[in-house]
Amino acid sequence: MKDNGRPTLSRERQVTLLETLDRLLNRGVVVAGDVTLSVADVELIYVGLRLLISSVETARQWGVRGAGE
């Protein structure tokens, strides 16, 4: 879904993406050694998690239908 080259995501897609972010960056098998995160990546993770929490906190606005249902 692209509009003027900028991706637009529905709130549900956004929540799904943020849930994915939370899992892909904080969970899963850790392969030690060759993985390095830049400072910018670490900041993004932080911003992403804040976004996730605020998305969930505004979830009330879209009532009982959660993402993935």
Partner 1 sequence: MDGYYLYGIVGFPPPLPCRIRGLGGDPVSLVPHAGLAAVVSRSGLTPWPLDAEHLTRHEAVVEEVMACRPVLPVRFNSLLRDEGTVRMLLGERAPAFRSALERVSGRVEMGLRVLWQPPEDAEAAGEEEIGGGPGTGYLYRRLGEERRQVRLRRAGERLIQALQAPFRSLAVESRLRRFMTERLLLSGAYLVERERVDAFREGVARARAGFPGLSFLLTGPWPPYHFVDGAPR
Amino acid at 29: V
Task: Give residues in contact with partner 1 (CB under 8 A).
Answer: 7, 9, 15-17, 19-21, 23-25, 27-31, 33-38, 41, 44-45, 53, 56-57, 59-60, 64, 66-69
Smallest separation, CB 46 to partner 1 (Å): 11
Smallest separation, CB 66 to partner 1 (Å): 4
Q: Which residues does 15 contact at the CB level (< 8 Å), separation at least 6? A: 52, 55, 56, 59, 66, 67
CA distances from 15 to 24, 33, 66 (A): 14, 31, 9
Smallest separation, CB 11 to partner 1 (Å): 11
